[in-house]
Amino acid sequence: MRLPLDDTAFTYDERPVAIGAVVLAAVAWGEWTRLRGALELGRLAAGRLEQRGEAPDGEELHRRLIAWRRERRLLAAEDYNAWLTARGLTLEDMTAHLRRAAASERPGAVKLDAGARDDDAAAAELAAEAVLSGQLRSWGDRLGRQAAAARALEARGVEVTDAPDEEGAEALASEARADRSTGLHGLPPERVAAWAVEVLALDRAWKHLAAEVADEELIQRCVRSHHLDWQRLAWEEATFAREDVAHEAALWVREEGTALSAIAERAGTAARAGEAYGYDAGELTALLLGTAPGELVGPLATEAGWRLLHLHERVMPTPEDPQLRARALEELLEDALAPHLAGRMEWNAVI
């Protein structure tokens, strides 16, 4: 397939943004090169598995296809086929995508030497991969968010004073047109150059807004507002085959202070250590955030057996924690963007 570069990817405030501008932005971010590398690795890995007789079978490909269709709510066969047809894709394109994805996840696949191809077949394969993998939509979303950042700065009365880098825009346009896999070489140079100026301007707006929200007081306030769900938890857990054994293990830990790992070893199972922030602990969050360090939770009935959790540590969130600081900045940026995203972006159906 070929990407319809002149077609609209999305509109922001009714202003159309072309698919070609999205591709150009992906080149600027290094994402186009990463996708091409991933595709080559997947293609070569799939070929390697085919030669060894270890290619994914029909059942595995079917499972992957069903997961792909569910993610996009294309459960009906007619909806799925219409989706492919609208984008100029075939069932063969989909099968190739699924085979590459399966092969790329096999151990050792990333160690392959991907090499490089620069022909029409490779360009068509890369265009199909950009659509089927969801990357084209993801890039469009990122560019739309940058447009929202420009609008947010305008609403705040912040003027981006640094002028567009004409040399940088020319270099980006030349780089993108020189890479024939983008398809941009087939468009008038002045159109690609205009897109390059716009892409770089939106990228600057994004960086300016990120700097605007990186206020120390705002960051501290954000972290304090998450004093529960951003706590860092450290625990040890073990699962026992029988309920009575789990209860006995709990007594040894609670009454004798024996390490859970030692009790688990005696019972013929293994304990494992866990560590996560509250927002990443899943179903354990509610259990562990209500537990004091040193306390035991359980036994809890699970499909695998009876589970014991021994909480070792709860660390309150602080802005000095780099991960929490980054998360606070993300949240502040989302808050700044939200009023300028709601109802302003409209996607073209084929992206």
Each residue's pLDDT, cut to its tens digit, for the chain (351 residues) gives: 788 999 999 999 889 999 999 999 999 999 999 999 888 888 888 888 788 888 888 898 999 999 999 999 998 999 999 999 988 899 999 999 998 888 887 765 444 444 455 567 778 889 999 999 999 999 999 999 999 999 999 888 887 766 667 788 899 999 999 998 999 999 999 999 999 999 999 999 999 999 988 989 999 999 999 988 899 999 999 999 999 999 999 999 888 888 999 989 988 888 999 999 988 888 888 888 888 898 998 899 988 899 999 999 999 999 999 999 999 999 999 999 999 988 889 998 777
Task: State residue 113's pLDDT score.
Answer: 47
Judge if 197 and 245 occupy the same domain: no
What region does 106 belong to: left with phi over 0, alpha with psi -120 to 50, or beta?
A: beta
Helix axes 322-341, 216-225, angle to 10 degrees: 100
Among positive and negative, which fits the CA dihedral 76, 81, 87, 92?
A: positive
Judge if 234 and 196 occupy the same domain: no
Specify if 108 maps to a domain: yes
Judge if 15 and 117 occupy the same domain: yes
d(CA 70, CA 82): 15
One-letter amino acid of 310? H
Judge if 180 and 305 occupy the same domain: no
Judge if 139 and 235 occupy the same domain: no
Specify if 138 maps to a domain: yes
Nearest to 3 by CA among 122, 110, 131: 131
Beta carbons of 138 and 32 less than 8 angstroms apart: no
Specify if 346 maps to a domain: no
- Strands 345-347, 271-277: pairing is unpaired
What's phi and psi for 274, nearest 5 deg? -130, 150
Strand stretches in the chain, DSSP E: 8-12, 15-18, 232-240, 271-277, 296-301, 306-315, 345-347
Would you state the structure tokens that stand for residue 170, as one six-digit string? 């020319």
Locate tokens 């700065």: which residue? 153
Specify if 89 maps to a domain: yes
Judge if 181 and 250 occupy the same domain: no
Q: Which structural domain, as residue segments, surrounds residue 282?
A: 228-315
Judge if 306 and 166 occupy the same domain: no
Judge if 232 and 177 occupy the same domain: no
Specify if 321 maps to a domain: no
SS3 (DSSP) at 45: helix
Task: State residue 143's pLDDT score.
Answer: 96
Task: State residue 76's pLDDT score.
Answer: 93
Would you state the structure tokens that stand for residue 246, as one six-digit string? 């789990």
Task: State residue 67's pLDDT score.
Answer: 93
Specify if 265 maps to a domain: yes
Judge if 199 and 232 occupy the same domain: no
Beta carbons of 220 and 319 less than 8 angstroms apart: yes
Beta carbons of 223 and 317 less than 8 angstroms apart: yes
Judge if 179 and 254 occupy the same domain: no
Judge if 34 and 178 occupy the same domain: yes
Q: Edge-to-edge, what's the strand order for the sheet holding 15-18? A: 15-18, 8-12, 345-347
d(CA 100, CA 125): 11
Would you state the structure tokens that stand for residue 208, as one six-digit string? 């300016």
Judge if 207 and 272 occupy the same domain: no
Task: State residue 164's pLDDT score.
Answer: 62
Nearest to 179 by CA among 131, 116, 128: 116
Direct distance between the N- and C-terminal alpha carbons of the chain, in angstroms, rounded to an integer: 14
Domain end position, chosen among 213, 247, 274 = 213
Total of domains in the chain? 2
Specify if 337 maps to a domain: no
Specify if 245 maps to a domain: yes
SS3 (DSSP) at 64: helix
pTM: 0.79
Task: State residue 119's pLDDT score.
Answer: 62
Beta carbons of 223 and 167 less than 8 angstroms apart: no
SS3 (DSSP) at 345: strand
Would you state the structure tokens that stand for residue 120, as one six-digit string? 């029409």
- The CATH number for 267's domain is 3.10.50.40
